[in-house]
Amino acid sequence: MADPQEWMLKMNERADCLHVLTSGVRSRQTVEEMTMKVFQAAVEKRLSKILVDVRELYGYFGFTDINYLVREIMQGLEGKGVEQVAVIDVKRTIGMGWFLESLAQSYGLNIRVFDEAESALLWLGE
């Protein structure tokens, strides 16, 4: 388990959406722990939408890490209460698309990645 000092989550409930701000280390372990905590909070509050801002995370999180996150973690959470997830991130991959978004959608997960909050909120219907 990662040292809790390595990362931070701030969660606020707004309308029918859980807003999450993250900061700290971006690693496979910390992202997995954050994902589980955010999902659990949304389910407990009966919120089907999540907006998570990960722009303040630092550290390498590559294609194999994203693949693990989607296939091993997120896919197991499908159908358990969260229907829509918007992620705000800094563009790190080459090309036009977001690897997380295309991979997640190929597994039937309703996840979109944005580089600013306004578009993410519009997509969530806020």
For the segment 105-111, the average pLDDT, to the nearest whole number, is 93
CATH number (domain holding residue 110): 3.30.750.24
The average pLDDT across 83-91 equals 91
Could you tell me the residue range of the domain that residue 94 belongs to?
Answer: 4-124
pLDDT at residue number 51: 97
What is residue 68's predicted lDDT score, i.e. its pLDDT?
Answer: 95
Strand partners, 114: 88
Structural domain count, the chain? 1
Following DSSP, what letter does each residue of 8-70 receive, concatenated? EEEEEEETTEEEEEEEEE--HHHHHHHHHHHHHHHHHTT--EEEEEEEEEES---HHHHHHII
Q: Report the DSSP beta bridge partners of residue 92.
A: none
Residue 95 has a pLDDT of: 57
* Mean pLDDT rounded to a whole number for the chain: 90
> What pLDDT is stored for residue 37 in this prediction?
96
Q: What pTM does this model have?
A: 0.89
Residue range 81-110: average pLDDT? 84
